[in-house]
Amino acid sequence: MSGMKTTMLLAALTALFMALGYTLGGSGGAVIALLAAAGMNLFTFWNADKIVLRMHDAREVDAQSAPDFYNLVRDLAQRAGLPMPRVYIIDQDAPNAFATGRNPDNAAVAATSGLLAMLSRDEVAGVMAHELGHVRNRDTLIMTMVATIAGAISMLANFGLFFRGGDREGGHGNMIASLLAVIVAPFAAMIVQMAISRTREYGADRAGAEISGNPQALASALAKIAGQAERIPNPVAERNPAAAQLYIVPTHVSELFSTHPATEKRIAALQDIAADMGAPALRSTPTSTAPRASALAPVAPPPKSDRPRRSALDPNGR
């Protein structure tokens, strides 16, 4: 059912792109729009992971440079029945994670140093299991295609608004129709994009719970990340708002315009999954914006040091 819904929504997004092309350029515009969509998706298919990782200045790690984190991802990938993905760390305080790549054989997962320093080992496992769930469900390719088409619709609408503004040959009625099209199309694309994204997030949460075997840890991690993601600046998301849809928890976006379901609803769904798995539900879910000390954190540094406490999964040794 989820796959059918996603296919229908993708078709609707492509049809919207063609309709906008037809409004702005007639039948020739529709054909050009379709060809442009196909070309962009082909380019995205081969290059999306490189673009995303470069955007975040992510650095690849291995069993020597970040043994705890790398081995954790390796164990989870084995449990999920997936090839070992490339593993990256983003040197950023904002806690978050994402997956990218066109298929499981070419996948990559990334986490910020802020996330690794803040969460316990079980919580990090829950987060990375969620990202591997995206890989297993092939959401990484789907969401990249969606973002590409939605972005193209916005660019085409801006192009049409700029050039149609001085077009008087089509008459007043055509001008109004074109103006409505270039205004409505980006909003319609955003709604379709959100519908697809929210469906895939619930699926990845369920997959993450199954892969890690600990839905409570993922629920706890979501609550912690949500609190900190709103408080700590994320320079990449601020420069490129579309990047927010990649993260396990989006940053600084209201629920109405978010590509993700509300964190509280995701946590409630995970608690239902825990009950189905026979695990006791969480007594309470942490909601404080202040991060708790990691269960893996050793003794704090001397009081005179300004360095934060270090997690055993923190590759920077902070």
Edge-to-edge strand order for the sheet containing 59-61?
59-61, 86-90, 108-112, 97-100
Has 169 been annotated as catalytic? Answer: no
Residue-by-residue DSSP string for 54-88: HHTT-EEE-TTTSHHHHHHHHHHHHHHT-PPPEEE
For residues 3-12, b (16+ Cβ closer than 10 Å) or e, as one string? eeebeebbeb
Cα–Cα distance for residue pair 51/133, rounded to 1 Å: 21
* DSSP at 119: S
Beta strands in 46-184 (DSSP E): 59-61, 86-90, 97-100, 108-112
Residue type at 170 in one-letter notation: G
Contacts of 143 (CB under 8 A, 6+ apart): 134, 196, 197, 200, 245, 246
Beta strands in 116-247 (DSSP E): none
Q: Report the distance separating Cα 32 and Cα 101, nearest Å.
A: 27
Catalytic residue of the set 131, 169, 201, 230: 131
Q: List, by residue number, the catalytic residues.
A: 131
